[in-house]
Structure 1
């Protein structure tokens, strides 16, 4: 039974840590290690982590690291020893069969279906077709391949020296796009193995500042791809994941920037909406319309 390393960055998420770590403890697959990297939390996070460490020796903590988020994920990876890797945020959680199904079905990577939790009994599920797909399908956003719902191979990360960048916005897009660039086949599951928490989430999109940093991260990504003779993937990412990221940050930007950048990227977004197989196209359409007419909550309905 191979070991899986779960890397969990944390900062002041004491409210959700018991549920997040509890979802790891509840896994049907038992050969795992959980490395929590706590970034100088000022709440009860460290107390909770240490209490759980006393109960289960598979849990470890790197407390008060000398590097900031998102580099804490790299630090956790460097301290891990598993053949397979999961990056899980400390306010999200896993379905109990996630690791077992991932280890059983992984190719170059594994992606489960997922759900977004809005509180109470309000969820929105995204269930993908089960099967083996190309990494290009993932880059075209036919299914989600990001933190939490993916199982990765350590060998691919190490061989190609893939690490999270220092930027705090779109850092996951950078890391997972590079991972997919050096992968071929991804196993996709219809099992909902990951829950994204949207209640009091610690994630801050920061609107226009997040968008400007996103531009920087993608240019860095494109440069690395070109240096590794993966230039053909630049346009794929520019026409899909990049547009998705632009919409994410414009969604929380002030109205004047929505209009300004909505006009600038109008052709890119329209092409994306008309040609992509994006698994959240209804969200993308509502967000696009809202750049010019503030009706997203009416259109989304969730």
Structure 2
């Protein structure tokens, strides 16, 4: 098998990690590759490092662009990709030595639309292998969707960097990253891919090194509640559409709605964080957003949350904000004291 593979690497102020990242690609045992470095307006030496790689290895292409965010950088990479398959690699991460060869062995043998593989989560003091246990067989779309219902593996199925995509599926269906989103764009992108990918394999091996110690272009701050809800809703909406397209929604409605409930709890947690920097009037406005997400049916389905959170969400649903805010302040102060 000698099919061309495109690796898209968005780069922003990554001078400390970029060489290790790119070398991990160029030193792969599988050599038929196109490496697309998209410099997203870096103001350190990243641009020069990219240009150096392009001068010394003809497989490397560099695009310099005005800073527009990681989604725009990835979209430029998609447009330039000429390989039959494509992968996304973050500039502070790196591959294992034989990663591409091992991935292609799965893909080459079975001609699948998507390969999802494990990764190692690397911090300063630990290295944790994250692998979805599977029998490595090709899944139909329905079989695969049922596996994604396990909320404990949401990140595994949402991120783009532990996947090899068939380029044709992405380009023919005009699937891109939504550059208007600063959070959750990966999940929406992959949900759109899952709509069209029919043969998927979960490779039972760790091939990608996800470094969590570096603060870089993908680090996130807490978001305003309205922004967070828009993100959660987009993710949930695209997720539901896939299940409805496969006539699976009614059968798995409870499991899918549990994901919605967790998103609401995520908003509540984010809201508590933001309370430290907001006036009560702004806080009440955010609570109304959470309350509007809680219809009577979904409120009754909140079975797997702690009793305090359930009481708080019930009070929010019925606009009892004067009671809710003091309770939240008590929770915040207790956590600050404990920490």
TM-score, reference length from structure 1: 0.76
Match of 1:118 among 116, 120, 123: 123
Which residue of the other structure, out of 175, 183, 195, is the alignment partner of 2:189? 175
The whole-number CA distance in structure 2 between the counterparts of 1:253 and 1:25 is 45
Which structure is higher in helix share?
A: 2
Structure 1 or 2, whichever has the larger Rg, is 2
Show structure 1 runs of 5+ residues with no match: 274-290
CA distance in 1, matches of 2:163, 2:302: 27
2:30 equivalent to 1:17: no
Q: Which of 155, 174, 177 is the equivalent residue of 1:164?
A: 177
Q: Does 1:216 align with 2:217?
A: no
Question: For each residue in 1:274-294, what CA deviation from the matched residue of structure 2 results, as whole angstroms up to 9, or x when unmatched?
Answer: xxxxxxxxxxxxxxxxx8874
The 3-state SS of whatever aligns with 1:37 is strand
For residue 230 of structure 1, report the CA deviation from its aligned partner. 3.1
CA RMSD of aligned residues (A): 3.8
In structure 2, the CA distance between the partners of 1:242 and 1:198, relative to structure 1 (3 Å rule), is farther
Q: Does the 8 Å CA contact 1:35/1:60 hold for their aligned counterparts?
A: yes
Matching of residues 121-132 of structure 1 within 5 Å: 122-130=126-134, 131-132=136-137
Asked if the contact 2:117/2:205 (under 8 Å) is kept, the reply is yes
The number of equivalent residue pairs is: 278
1:48 deviation in Å? 1.1
Residue aligning to 1:41: 42
Instruction: Map 1:62-141; keep pairs closer than 5 Å.
Output: 62-65=63-66, 67-106=68-107, 107-120=112-125, 122-130=126-134, 131-132=136-137, 133=139, 134-141=143-150
Structure 1 residues 13 and 66: CA distance shift in structure 2, 3 A: closer
| SS across alignment from 1:254 | helix
Aligned to 1:57: 58
| Cα distance in 2 for residues equivalent to 1:272 and 1:188 | 30
Q: Distance in 1 between matches of 2:42 and 2:53?
A: 16
Contact 2:133 2:204 in 1 (8 A): yes
- Which deviations, in whole Å up to 9, do the C-alpha atoms of 1:216-250 show, x marking residues without a partner? 23444526975996386775665438847974994
Tell me how far apart the structure 2 counterparts of residues 185 and 103 of structure 1 sit (CA, whole Å): 15
Q: Secondary structure in 2 aligned to 1:90?
A: coil
Q: Deviations over 1:97-151 (max 9, x none)?
A: 221122221322111111111125x111112224134330453247523222110
- From the superposition, tell whether residues 37 and 226 of structure 1 become closer, same or farther in structure 2 (CA, over 3 Å): same
Structure 2, unpaired ranges of 5+: 277-286, 307-330
Distance in 1 separating the partners of 2:6 and 2:24: 14
Q: 1:288 matched to which residue of 2?
A: none
2:209 matched residue in structure 1: 195
Instruction: Give deviations 1:67-102, integer Å, cap 9, x for gaps.
Output: 443122111110110110101111111122221122
| 1:74–1:255 Cα change, 3 Å | closer
Distance 1:256-1:103 versus aligned 2 partners, 3 A rule = same
